[in-house]
Structures are given as structure tokens and as C-alpha cells.
Amino acid sequence: MRLVLQLTAALLPAYLLVPASALAHGSEGPYIDVLSSHVRQGQPFVVVGDDLEPDALAVVEISSFGEVYPLGTVTTDAQGHLDTFFTVPSEMRDGYAEVRATTTGGVTASIWILVGEGPDLSEGLPGGPPESGAPWADPSVLTLAVFLIGATVALVWLLLTRRRELG
């Protein structure tokens, strides 16, 4: 029982130091998501969003290879959420495209998606999303890594301390 209390005492402060953004959806502001691995021309797809402007009209568009296609408008709910579907324009080329939602107050969120029949990605696609850098450059990944390393060190220290008390 004493070991459990020591572990709790060691890990609780570390848990409390983890930013809320690392514990929530990983976003530090408005975001949208497309609930599909890729979308096809002429087919509907679902768009969800969060942390947008509450009770606002949002204009949604998709752009690829320098062409911008309006998808439509949607009104966010009282919490700034949206959940709707749009149809991919049939004239869009295969490749990466950016879906962007902008509210009347100027709040913007976007996501890169893959348009087309799911081409071979081994050689990459033209018009791909900009490089976002290494995954460990993401603050939430760094925070999680520091937390896990700290928890591991605390656990090893407690086990070694316990071993010395018994031996």
C-alpha cells in the first residue's frame, strides 16, 4: 500500500503539469476534420469542427493546385461546433487538397485531405501538403515524452528505494 501511495505522490504533480491541450483533442484553437481517409470527386464527405466562433456562419471551400472551389456554408452551434457534409467537386484533380472553414468573424480552420481513388503514395503526390516537420516538434508530443520519461524515472527510483528497504 505504501508503494502505491509513493507512486501516486510522485506521478500526480507530473500529471498536473501536463497542459490541457495535450490532454484534450490536441488543438490549441479552432480545427476541422474530415471523417474519411480520402474523398472522391462527386461524392459527399463529412466535415466536423470545434472551437470555431459560436452561432456564426462559416464559409467552407476546398482548394487544390491553385484552384479554389466553394463547397457551401454552415452555421456553427452555440459552442462553435459544426457537423455537416459537402460534395467534392467533380472537376477536382487527384491529389492533396485543403478544406478551409472561415466564420463571419474571421476565425479560420483548415485540414489537408486526399482527393481521388487512393493512388499509390510510395512516390508522393503532386500538390501535397506542406511539410510539417518532425513529429517530435509537436508540443503535445514533447509534453507526453517528458511525462513518460519522468514517470519511468520516478517508478525506477521508487522500486530501487523499496528494494533497499527490504534488503
Domain ranges for the chain? 1-28+134-167, 35-130
- DSSP for residue 39: B
Question: Do residues 73 and 86 touch, judged by C-beta distance below 8 A?
Answer: no
Give me the tens of pLDDT residue by residue for the chain, a chain 167 residues long: 666 666 666 666 655 555 443 444 455 689 899 988 789 999 999 999 999 999 999 999 999 999 999 999 999 999 999 999 999 999 999 999 999 999 999 999 999 999 987 644 444 445 555 555 556 556 677 777 788 888 888 888 888 887 777 76
Query: How far is the C-alpha of 103 from the C-alpha of 18, rounded, in Å?
Result: 31
Query: What is the residue whose three cell numbers read 503532386?
Result: 126
pTM of the model: 0.58
Q: Find out if CATH 2.60.40.1930 is the number for domain 35-130.
A: yes
